Every structure is written in C-alpha cells, then in structure tokens.
Structure 1
C-alpha cells in the first residue's frame, strides 16, 4: 500500500482555503497515483516563546501525534512525506527510523532546506544550526529515498551531508497544476508591443531587494504581495493573485528567475540558494507558456538551456541588449518549447516520473 501525508490547518480542511501551491499540487498528484491519504492537522505552534521544559513537552507531543497517525502503515508499505513537515519536531527522525526498521519505505519530497540555504553562512548561531541538524539533516539520513530538486542539490547533499547518491532522485523541476482551463494558456502567442519582463513572487524588500533597483530602460510587470516601491514609468504593478489564478493574469514576454540583493548578480543568502534549489516561479512561468530569463549560475539554468525555454544571464543589465537583438523567430521558438513544457508541468509529469523511480 502506498500512503501520503497531507498536512493542513483545521481551517484549510474545513473551508478549503488556499494553502501552499507546490504542496497542494503534490497532494493532488499523489491521489491521482492511487495513494491513500493520512491527514495531519497543523495546530498553532506555541513553542517559539516557551521555556525549555515546555518546548520539550511540545516536541514529545508532536512525536506522539505522528506515531498515532502512522499506526495504519504496515510492513511492505511506502509512505510519501513532503519536507520540511509542518508538524515539525526534533524527534521526527526517530519516528521515521522505526518505520524503516519495520520494512516500511519512507520517501521524502523536498520543498525547501533551511540547512542548505545557510550552509555557507558562518555567522549562523550555534543553537540554530543544531536545531536545523536535528529537524532536517537527521530526518534526511533516516529516509529510504529523497526526491531532491536537481543534480546540484543532489551533489551538495552528498558532499556536505553524506547522503548516499543512490538514495536521491532528481525531480528536475516542480510541476504546476492549473486545472481544466489549462488549455487556454496554450493559446498564448501574441506578445506585448516591445518586450517586457515578469517578476512574480514575494516582493518584500528584505526578500527581493533587487526589485527596488531594477534597470530603468526595461519594462517590468510585477505580481505579488508586499510591494512598497513606486510603480509607473517602466514598472507596472498588477497586484497579488491566488496561485491558481495567476497564470491567467500574467502579462509579459519573459518571466524573470532572479533573487537576492543585487541586479548585477544573484547575491546574498537567497541569491546563493538559487545554485541548488528549484524556484517555484520558474514552474509558474513555464506552466503559463512563458519563456524565462534565469541567472546563469542557477541550478535550473541547465534545464532552461536544454529544453530551449529561455535565456541565461549574468546581470539584469544584459536584458536590454538581448531584447534589441532578439528576432521574432527566436522568440517564437522559445515560446513553442515553453508550451511543450507547460503540458508536462500542468499534468504532473515530473512528479509522477520521480514516483516511478522511487517505486523501483
């Protein structure tokens, strides 16, 4: 029997409110693959400001909750878990270790790894580093298989964490389910007069500082929450939309996959993280049938080049020259390949491919 963990707050279960797009898509694909769901309700985490004794009791209570919910899983079964878990506890590794000892296969699907994001950060407090090791690294080491974002993440996890290469499966890119109206997006073909770049995501200045230093000679279409800059001129701010609606709202010719504090290169903690992770916005753009600009050193740059769905760049200042030299035929070719990848992303192709590999 194949099982999957579905973690939502009680409000999300009762009112079907929107959760995290990537997690929700995996839940849908797991169900499509015939897996049985185990519901874990995500409660309010009251441990943050608690004393040490209360924190330990909280972690123990969460451990027991996991054990109760996993009691239905038996020898020979496989359980798929999205990671990091929302019901987190420093004792999760011991829970998974017991499952594996019972000949139950544990497959982790990685969304984000805080430890990997801060791996080069020498200033990180010792206490925080130990917490990340307990809640992330120890869990990874006790899984049967780990579905990682890409080859670069696989390589770093092997070299830095000692995770055996044979345990890891490369996802390639996150799927992005759209729904029954997905065919409409395939009709995208007309471009705006001239070329423009789309930036979608959290536009908070601390997270995406580069957004507030954009070149003045390129048109940008911005989508997302927490934008506090001055729109107008070359910048058009469209507001924020739910993930399921966003593909139908995007206007522009290229989606920008960039992060960090600078327009010259992807710098800072978030910029460096692009070297190993798969930004979900890449999937958003391509699922919408839109080619991308992506940082040349990003882990997904190789995928973009191989699939001919965009252009790799070192600096945002390169875009103007690219726009001036780009021909209609060249853009049409990228657009056509983006549409092909869109069909894969919107059908769950890459997730299902990873599941097939995990089943072998």
Structure 2
C-alpha cells in the first residue's frame, strides 16, 4: 500500500496527516489509534502529532535519528531479498522490512550479532509500550524479528524464546440480513450492484473480487474460482443462482475482457478506492450510518451461513481460513442460539 504522512496544522492543532489509497484493513488499524479522525477538508486521516505517532509514520523531527547505520541498511536489503525469494506478497515484504527497520534503528549503536533476547524485551518496554503502539503492531515487529533472526547464522537471539503480547479478542462486525439487503439494493448501476452482491454472496475479500477474471466464474458448476488469494492459495466458493443471473446481465452490458470488473480503461482492474466509494454511496442511499467496510460483508456472509445451519468446516473452506479457530470467532457473534435464551426479566 502506497502512503504518505506529514505534519500539518489542522483546526489550530499539530496533526500527523496520512494519505493513502482506500484500504479497508488500513482504515481499521487507524481507527484503533487514539484520536484518529477522518477529515473531509484534508481528504485524509489524521492523528495527534505525538512522539509515538511521529515515530510510527517516520516523522521524527531529528532526521539523523531515523537513518540506520550502514550495517542495518545492508541487513534490511538482504532481508528484503530473502522475503522476495520466499515469494511473500509485496504488502508483507513492505510491512516486515519497515518493522525490522524500526527495531534495528532502535539499536543503531549496537552490532546486529550482539543483540539478544533482553534487547527485544527492552525494545518492547521502551519503544512500543512507551509510545503506546498497538499490540497488532507489536506482533508485526515480532513476526519480522523472528523471521529475520532465523536467517542469521551468528546471533545471540534465541528465536523460540521471543514472546508475543496477549492476543486481543475482537469480535467481527456483522450486519443483519435486512441491512445487507438495503446495501445491496441501493445501487441502480448494475456494475456497482454486482460487485457488492458478489462480495457478500461468496464471502470475498476486496482484493479477491478485483482479481477475478471472467474465466473464474464456472456457471456450469455454480462456482467461483478464487486464484492465489491470501497465503497464495486457490479455493472455490459456491455461486448462487441469483448472482449468476445478475452476472450474466452485467456481462452482456459491459463485456469485460481481461478482468471481471474493469476500471475506466479496458484491460485495467477496477480501482480499490473506487470500490470503497461504491460502498460509501450505497450506505448513504440506504441511510446506514455505521462505519461499514467491505470486510463487514464477508463477516456478515460467514455469520449468516452459520446461523442458517452450515457446518463450520464448510465455512472455513469457503473463506479460505488455515485454522478452524479463525472461523470459530463467528460463533461468538451468531445470534441464533442467543435469541432462544429467555431473560429472567420477562418473568418479573
């Protein structure tokens, strides 16, 4: 994800202003940061210009303090090459190298071979906690550190003894079927309607929808083939007959060539930010004022499947989850069983 950050005065306060193309996961992470706000005037998200936020977005006032020494630069580039040869995604490579850079900058006056487990604990205490950085960011750092030090032969780090913060248990955001229907019926534009309907009806991620090609729709078997999705895995998802009819009407009208949903110019995929705006407009038309993202449609699909009696193992396969524990989170937001619980208040 391409992004740019700078410090600006907004409504009389110094703020860190972050510009990036629409990305629902990035927005969700920003929302977890204290006093993160969206500005229509700036057309960007902005946060307080605290030391922690300056460091987080590489805006430390003393520019010399954020430049790693030569050894660290070499190590980071070697790590980047290693990740590329392991075929990690571009987003993961960027995330891990930036995380490693943060760690090595913190110990810029120490040789990499001399860094040990106590230094990792000290980094957590005096950088992550001190600057009030999130546990998800801390986990990214740990992933990068563990993977990086596994590739080194001469090191004082015992990788298996690097511990993680206690995992936050956040429930997925789920819409009711009535809310989903309002959103999906909001657009008269068949292209916009088809994109949102396909995300919900197949439980797709945003990138999975935009990477679909016409040949990935198997109308004879009523399946969608999702190629090289998260974790570089192919999978299939059932295609409803109602969606198939909508897709046929869309195809006749637009005749896509390379991508199932193409952008302004033929042969180019539809833009992520434009897709986000399609959802925003649907929410406005449906008069739904929740901070809904495209991923909410995927969460809602999984929860509604569970509530209709679909086995959790099938839901796991459809969503492409590696672990059943990831899919089990939907059991905590399903209301089917809870609706049968009678409150003692009713008997008073």
With the shorter chain as reference, the TM-score category is: 0.3 to 0.5
> Which structure carries more strand by proportion?
1
Q: Say which one has the larger Rg.
A: 2
Instruction: Compare the two structures and name the one with the higher helix fraction.
Output: 2
Q: Please, what TM-score do these two structures have when normalized by structure 2?
A: 0.36
